[in-house]
Chain A
Amino acid sequence: MSTGPRRAVADPQPPRLWKPVLALALAVLLGLSGYTSWAYWQDTAEVRTGSFTAGQLDLQLDSGQAVGLGTGYTKTSIAADDLLPAETLAYPLTVRNVSGAAATYGATVQRGSTWTYDGSSITFRLFAGSPDTSDTSYPRQQTCSGSPLGAQTFVPASATSVINVPRALAPGGSETLCVLVGLDSASANANQGARGTLTLVLTSTQAVG
């Protein structure tokens, strides 16, 4: 047995696998991502809801007055046809939050559409309380129970706040206010026979948080 000269034999190289692996991955990808098409069943389920109606933050006054947004009413019982200097008259006003949300409210007062008094005659003040109208003889000095919500002011030509700190009203809650209207003792004689109406604007805002 002859032995030839030995040739150096190179170490076997590892097979180049990347091509088949790539092809396999591509196939899997195509298979999964639908390049393969086949029939399939499907279903659609639809849910219909009831309606969503936006709530209203409605501030109502007295017994079902000022119903709805931005409404008002004339409370003719807040009036006097025989008001004289140094007299004050008290009137009740109920504020009701008929919405489902907590709210706060404030108020402004200003002269109404009729006004012939000077600026230093008719006074206004708001209380969280009830009127005491037992004093009916001149000079009538009626009062309000409870605490004043703001300072006494002469009724101004433009809206002026009469509640220093906004009042909180729970959903469905109400509060009795007392409106105190007076004629200043120093009112000038020229105001005799003058006429005036007042406009009280209460604005409620949904409480935050």
Chain B
Amino acid sequence: MAAALAVAALLLGLVLAPGRTWAQFSDTATVGTGTFTGTLASPAALSCQTEGLGVRIGWATPTNRRFSVRVLQTNGSQVYDTTTTDNSILLTPTLLSAVLGARYTIEVRTTAGTAWQSPQASTRTFGVAALGLWLVC
């Protein structure tokens, strides 16, 4: 009885769920895309104007980005670094521990993601005057 049921089930299966095979037409359509590329632009030329005891360094573009800012002494040592999403930064003598006669260079790079930085930095030089109390462009 069991054998008969098994055979019946097999036959039913063959009819309903085809062990039958037949050729099936097919087609392949391929899409090639254009190119994906991207490079971070450097900030536009830096502007400088005095503001209180310090100087405000600004740049117009790009907007809505994140920027890495470094301030270096003339000997290349870094005295300050930060990141900002603004398009300007106010530097003060206190922030830089400025001393009379010192000159500094500010470097600004655009950043994106966790690792990208614009290949080129935009730079501007400024100095310290009047007993180290003021920054001047």
Contact = CB atoms under 8 A, between A and B. Distances in A.
Asked if A pairs with B, the answer is yes
B115 A188 contact: yes
B30 A192 contact: no
Interface stretch (A5-13, A23-31, A79-87): A79-87
A187 B113 contact: yes
Main secondary structure of the interface of B (DSSP, over half): loop
Interface in B13-39: 18, 22, 24-39
B34 A76 contact: yes
A181 interface: yes
Given A138-B64, A192-B116, A82 B38 contact: yes
Contacts of B39: 192-193
Interface in A146-179: none
A119 interface: no
Interface residues of A, number: 62
Contact of B37 (A71, A80, A101): A80
Contacts of B112: 84-86, 138-139
A197 B32 contact: yes
A206 to B, nearest CB: 4
Contact of A114 (B30, B35, B113): B35
Contact of B26 (A72, A188, A204): A204
Interface residues of B, number: 29
A191 B34 CA distance: 17
B65 A59 contact: no
Interface of A: 55-61, 66, 69-86, 93, 95, 99, 101, 112, 114, 122, 137-139, 181, 183-189, 191-206, 208-209
Given A72-B31, A80-B37, 15 more contacts: A58-B27, A59-B29, A72-B30, A74-B34, A79-B35, A80-B38, A84-B113, A122-B36, A183-B38, A187-B116, A192-B40, A195-B37, A199-B31, A199-B32, A200-B33
19 contacts: A72-B29, A72-B30, A74-B33, A101-B25, A181-B33, A183-B36, A185-B114, A186-B115, A187-B115, A189-B116, A192-B119, A196-B35, A198-B36, A200-B33, A201-B28, A202-B30, A202-B31, A204-B29, A209-B18
